[in-house]
Amino acid sequence: MTILNGKIRKTMLGTKDFGFFTFLLDITFDGTGCGYGTYALDEYDKDKKKRVPTAVGLGAIIKLLETLELNSWEELENTFVRCEIENNSIVRIGHLIKDKWFSFPEYYEENNKTDTNIDINWNYKLRDINTELHKALHELVVENVEYMILNSLGDPYKKQTINNAITAMDKNTELFLST
């Protein structure tokens, strides 16, 4: 277990590409970063045939804000926090100065009385898959850029194309890291 001080750079609250209502905090550390979240804050209702809000999901958002002593979701951006890290994943997020911590799995276990559809292990598996996908995508992009550079020497049109590709890659990387 490692505890690092970090800063919440960006937040997401909604469904995005996940297919369920969730949150994600993009936290930066000294020279690196990590995401915290992607836990389902809703559940599938078989009778309604759609996802519906849950009390434990709303309670988790409230508990996170209380832990960090904030009044609204919007205040999360640029907030300094402490993060407990295990196996390259954030497992708890805490108040920067006070000994106050929030862990969604712990909160869920303590407060889930009626919600039945959140599989904590699935959230960890999803995070591992996303990490591996990001690593593979990064390696592929680096290889393609290196190939383009080697094949563009002396050709100004190809150099401009590479510069455009690098700019697009930077934007896509920033977009990927913000999700």
- Segment 113-149, tens digit of pLDDT: 654 444 555 555 555 666 666 566 656 666 665 565 5
More confident residue, 17 or 71: 71
Class of residue 90 by CB neighbours under 10 A (exposed 0-12, middle 13-18, buried 19+): buried
CB 46 within 8 A of CB 36: no
* Domain spans in the chain, listed from the N-terminal domain onward: 2-118, 128-177
Residue 30's SS3 state is coil
Q: How many CA atoms lie within 13 A of 45 on its CB side?
A: 9
Q: Whole-model pTM?
A: 0.63
Q: What is the CA radius of gyration of the chain?
A: 20
pLDDT at position 132:
63
pLDDT single digits (tens) 32-58: 889 999 888 998 889 999 999 998 999
* Burial readout 16-52 (b: 16 or more C-beta within 10 A, e: otherwise): eebebbbbbbbbeeeeeebbbbbbbbbbeeeeeeebe
**pLDDT band with cut points at 50, 70 and 90 for residue 60:** very high
- Percentage of the chain beyond pLDDT 70 is 63
